């Protein structure tokens, strides 16, 4: 019988009882499977400790993309995302992704090492004040001190997931990892509270709904987080109410449902806003104004249904129903006694108008942006997870990518940071290895994160990335055009993305016709290697759209 090798000696910092081990143990208990980060001297102890807990340390090419990966892992899996950086240049690079998770309301624990505690008060090389830097882009920025380690970790975890969820940053001095930590693992509840409904406002909150003849539901990210899909469907069907969703909530309501009424502020946005303007009541179900791209300009009365009170006040609402969104919708359904307000034909006519608006500006015989979305959607096997980047292509894809399942579409629409799509696709595939993963990205955003394709190939993740190649930061160039400016800094030289794909260990294909794109996208479900498709689009359609 062969002898098993001796286990590697456990370093002091990863020994039972150290601060590094306690944190790693909490992460494991919280169900974390990957820590996304980038190394530095100040974090080698914790990288070691998480490995001993069976958590994979995934190194991205840079910290900002590591944070996007952590965010996307949380979006896909519904748990907590974790990212890691060293001090100074590592933590400053992490910042963008921390802000993204915070404004996308995704629970993220971001951890940065710091110089040893004995030097922090006076030393300047690579030292920035993490507390001050992360405070404006997180819910909480704390220092993990060994003497109260368990409390700080619990506070960080609980705060990250509590409604509204977001990012929490922990700073850990390099010498603190190996210190004995106070406390033990006692995981706090990391799920939303049980179904209780709080009502604010004078009088009967149900009267406006009972009186409404043309109500519209507007479902947002809190509905997605709370898995309120079944209750949304029930209320929509029972009361005959069309459902508009926000981009980040895509999939919470099946988009092939007869009462589906489009995505807010994506292509064709005027048609959706007209529906809201002509409604006599908007039921805002977990809608978070962080997703508004246009200002809220409609005068329609709103009934606020959310996990938190209406402290944004972007719309006024005389009544606020506060609690888990599914429970609130379930309560409304239980009280409903009226007839359905809309018939399916009227909602279908609205969808036809929206579809026509989305297709407007196509040139027959060219590879239009809408063609790329249509062809990619048709090629995507059931269960595909889509990630987008930010720009004109996102606005096109966000409206017409048919989503039928929650957490199957990852669209950054809080901070709306470019460079998200590629790392998000990688993290989605790591989180759900059973699912095909596709990214639709602009050429500007792809350039920001293209070297991450090396991570996809190294880890053997067969993600497919379709780049809308228009040699332009199109969304900004269109703004310049609309005010008569030349395209200063918004036109760029094309890159040979096929060569780039090959240099990063991926397959690469260039296409400039619908038929070639269809061919390049065949066999998505069974691909073994990552693929980059350089789709040379004609961007003229965007001019009609925005
Ligand atoms: C990190 C970051 N920098 C700048 C912006 C502002 N911005 C929004 S869309 C856009 C253009 C994106 O260009 P591209 O990726 O090529 O997509 P396209 O609009 O051409 O589809 C820019 C610069 C941003 N959202 N994020
Ligand atoms: Mg572009």
Q: Which of 516, 492, 545 is nearest to 366 (CA)?
A: 516
The closest residue, in CA terms, to atom 4 on ligand 1 is 418
| 375 CA from centroid of ligand 1 (Å) | 23
Ligand 1 centre distance from Cα of residue 475 (Å): 6
Please state, in angstroms and rounded to a whole number, the distance separating the CA atoms of residues 457 and 450: 12
Quickly list H helices, 294-368: 325-335, 344-359
CA distance 132 to 130: 5
What per-residue confidence (pLDDT) applies to 74? 98
pLDDT tier, 134 (very low <50, low <70, confident <90, very high otherwise): very high
Q: Are the C-beta atoms of residues 537 and 372 closer than 8 Å to each other?
A: yes
Identify whether the C-beta of residue 282 lies closer than 8 Å to the C-beta of residue 256: no
Name the CA dihedral angle for 323, 166, 401, 245, rounded to a multiple of 10 degrees.
Answer: 30
* 480-489, long-range: CB < 8 A, 24+ apart: 481/543
- Sheet of strand 167-173: strand arrangement: 56-59, 34-37, 81-85, 108-114, 167-173, 140-143
> For ligand 1, what atom is nearest to the CA of residue 415?
25
Q: Which of 314, 291, 140, 152 is nearest to 224 (CA)?
A: 291
User: Closest residue (by CA) to atom 13 of ligand 1?
Assistant: 473
pLDDT > 70? residue 385: yes
Residue whose CA lies nearest to ligand 1 atom number 11:
473
Distance 499 CA to ligand 2 centre (A): 19
DSSP for 254-278, written as a single string: -TTSTTEEEETTSTTHHHHHHHHHH
Name beta bridge partners: 302: 282
- Cβ atoms of residues 540 and 361 within 8 Å: yes
Backbone angles phi, psi at 434, to 5 degrees: -85, -5
- Nearest ligand to the CA of 442 is 1
Average pLDDT of the segment spanning 112-129:
97
Task: Give the C-alpha separation, 477 to 460, whole Å.
Answer: 36
Q: How far is CA 33 from CA 71, 396, 458, in A?
A: 13, 33, 18
Complete edge-to-edge strand list for the sheet that includes strand 260-263? 198-200, 320-322, 302-306, 281-285, 215-219, 243-245, 260-263
Ligand 1 pocket mutation pick from 390, 442, 480 by most atoms within 8 angstroms of CB: 390
Note the pLDDT tens digit of each residue in 185-222: 999 999 866 667 899 999 999 999 999 999 999 999 99
The percent of residues in the chain predicted with pLDDT above 90, rounded, is 95
Pocket test for ligand 1, best of 64, 445, 449, 481 (most atoms within 8 A of CB): 445
CA pair distance 25, 21, nearest whole angstrom: 6
Q: Is the pLDDT of residue 318 over 60?
A: yes
Q: How far is the CA of 418 from the centre of ligand 1 (A)?
A: 6
- Is pLDDT at 4 greater than 60 in this prediction? no
Helix (H, G, I), strand (E, B) or coil at 527: coil
Q: Give the number of the atom of ligand 1 that is nearest the alpha carbon of residue 394.
A: 21
- The rounded Å distance from CA 545 to ligand 1 centre is 17
Q: How many CB atoms lie within 10 A of CB 127?
A: 15
* Dist. CA 540–CA 458, nearest whole Å: 37
Instruction: From 64, 5, 17, 49, select the one nearest 422 (Cα to Cα).
Output: 64
Cβ < 6 A, ligand 1 pocket: 389-393, 416-419, 442-445, 468, 470, 472-476
377: pLDDT confidence band, cut at 50, 70 and 90?
very high
Encoding tokens for residue 44? 């080698």
Token couple for 83: 């990212």
Q: What percent of the chain has pLDDT over 70?
A: 97
Judged against a pLDDT cut of 70, whether residue 7 lies above it is answered with no
Ligand 2: centre distance to CA 443 (Å):
5
The per-residue pLDDT for range 443-458, each reduced to its tens digit, is: 999 999 999 999 999 9
Beta-bridge mates of residue 215: 281
Looking at the CA of 394, which ligand is closest? 1
Q: Are 61 and 84 in contact (CB under 8 A)?
A: no
Q: What contacts 327, CB < 8 A, 6 or more positions away?
A: 195, 196, 197, 231
Render pLDDT for 475-534 as a digit per residue (tens, 0 to 9): 999 999 999 999 999 999 999 999 999 999 999 999 999 999 999 999 998 999 999 999
Res. 3: pLDDT tops 70: no
Atom from ligand 1 closest to the CA of residue 389: 15
Bridge partner residues of 531 (DSSP):
464, 507
Predicted local distance difference test score (pLDDT) of residue 196: 79
Identify each DSSP E strand in 179-247 by its residue range. 198-200, 215-219, 243-245
Q: What is the mean pLDDT of the chain?
A: 96
| Closest residue to atom 23 of ligand 1, CA basis | 473
Q: For strands 302-306 and 409-410, give the pairing.
A: unpaired
CA dist., res. 408 & res. 36, Å (int): 21
* Rounded distance between C-alpha atoms, residue 283 and residue 377, angstroms: 30
Does position 340 have pLDDT exceeding 60, yes or no? yes
Q: Which of 420, 475, 487 to mutate to test the pocket of ligand 1 (most atoms within 8 A of CB)?
A: 475
pLDDT for position 2: 40
Rounded mean pLDDT, 255-267: 98
**By C-alpha distance, which of 270, 271, 260, 265 is closest to 237?**
260
Q: Summarize pLDDT for 321-333 with one digit per residue, the tens.
A: 999 999 999 999 9
In the prediction, which pLDDT does 97 show? 98
Element (H, E) at 66: helix 63-77
pLDDT bracket for residue 311 (50, 70, 90):
very high
pLDDT at 441: 98
Q: Is the pLDDT of residue 113 over 60?
A: yes
**Residue 468 CA, closest ligand 1 atom number:** 21
Q: Which of 361, 194, 223 is nearest to 284 (CA)?
A: 223
Q: Could you tell me the two tokens for 441?
A: 């990205």
Residues in the chain: 546
Contacts of 91 (CB under 8 A, 6+ apart): 63, 85, 112, 128, 130, 133, 134
By CB atoms closer than 10 A (0-12, 13-18, 19+), residue 337 is: exposed
Q: Kindly report, residue by residue over 150-183, the tens digit of the pLDDT.
A: 999 999 999 999 999 999 999 999 999 999 999 9
**Half-sphere exposure of residue 84: CA atoms within 13 angstroms, side-chain side:** 27
Nearest ligand to the C-alpha of residue 369? 1
Considering every ligand atom, which ligand is closest to the CA of 445? Answer: 1
**Relative to the CA of 475, which ligand 1 atom is closest?**
19
pTM: 0.96
Q: Check residue 191 and give its pLDDT.
A: 81
């Amino acid at each position: 019988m062969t002898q098993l090798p001796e286990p590697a000696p456990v370093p002091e910092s990863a020994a039972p009882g150290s601060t590094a081990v306690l944190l790693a143990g909490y992460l494991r208990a919280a169900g974390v499977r990957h820590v996304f980060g980038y190394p530095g001297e100040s974090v080698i102890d914790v990288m070691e400790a998480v490995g001993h807990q069976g958590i994979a340390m995934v190194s991205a090419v840079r910290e900002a993309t590591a944070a996007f990966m952590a965010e996307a892992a949380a979006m896909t899996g519904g748990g907590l995302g974790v990212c890691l950086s060293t001090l100074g240049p590592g933590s400053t690079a992490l910042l963008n992704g921390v802000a993204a998770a915070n404004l996308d309301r995704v629970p993220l624990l971001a951890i940065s090492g710091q110089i040893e505690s004995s030097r922090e008060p006076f030393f300047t090389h690579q030292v920035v004040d993490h507390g001050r830097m992360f405070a404006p882009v997180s819910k909480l920025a704390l220092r993990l001190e060994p003497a109260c380690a368990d409390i700080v970790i619990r506070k960080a975890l609980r705060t990250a997931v509590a409604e509204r969820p977001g990012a929490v940053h922990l700073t850990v001095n390099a010498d603190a990892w190996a210190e004995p930590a106070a406390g033990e693992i006692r995981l706090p509840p990391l799920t939303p509270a049980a179904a209780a409904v709080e009502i604010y406002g004078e009088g009967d909150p149900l009267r406006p709904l009972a009186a409404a003849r043309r109500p519209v539901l507007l479902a947002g990210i809190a509905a997605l987080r709370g898995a309120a899909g079944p209750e949304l469907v029930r209320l929509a069907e029972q009361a005959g109410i069309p459902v508009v969703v926000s981009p980040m909530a895509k999939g919470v309501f099946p988009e092939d449902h007869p009462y589906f009424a489009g995505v807010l502020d994506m292509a064709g946005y005027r048609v959706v806003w007209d529906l809201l303007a002509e409604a006599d009541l908007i039921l805002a179900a977990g809608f978070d104004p962080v997703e508004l791209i246009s200002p809220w300009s409609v005068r329609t009365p709103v009934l606020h249904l959310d996990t938190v009170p209406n402290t944004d006040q972007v719309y006024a609402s005389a009544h606020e129903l506060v609690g888990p969104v599914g429970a609130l919708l379930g309560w409304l359904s239980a009280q409903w006694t009226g007839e359905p307000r809309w018939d399916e034909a009227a909602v279908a006519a609205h969808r036809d108008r929206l579809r026509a608006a989305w297709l407007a500006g196509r040139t027959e015989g060219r590879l239009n942006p809408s063609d790329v979305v249509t062809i990619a959607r048709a090629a995507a096997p059931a269960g595909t997870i889509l990630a987008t980047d930010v720009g004109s292509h996102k606005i096109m894809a966000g409206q017409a990518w048919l989503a039928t399942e929650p957490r199957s579409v990852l669209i950054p629409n809080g901070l709306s940071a470019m460079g998200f799509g590629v790392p998000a696709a990688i993290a989605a595939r790591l989180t759900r290895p059973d699912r095909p993963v596709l990214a639709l990205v602009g050429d500007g955003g792809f350039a920001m994160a293209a070297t991450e394709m090396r991570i996809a190939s190294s880890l053997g993740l067969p993600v497919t990335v379709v780049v809308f190649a228009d040699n332009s930061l199109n969304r900004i160039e269109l703004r310049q055009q609309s005010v008569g400016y030349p395209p200063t800094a918004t036109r760029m030289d094309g890159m040979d993305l096929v060569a780039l794909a090959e240099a990063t260990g991926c397959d690469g294909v260039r296409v400039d016709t619908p038929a070639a794109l269809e061919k390049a996208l065949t066999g998505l479900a069974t691909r073994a290697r990552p693929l980059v498709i350089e789709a040379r689009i004609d961007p003229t359609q965007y001019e009609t759209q925005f």
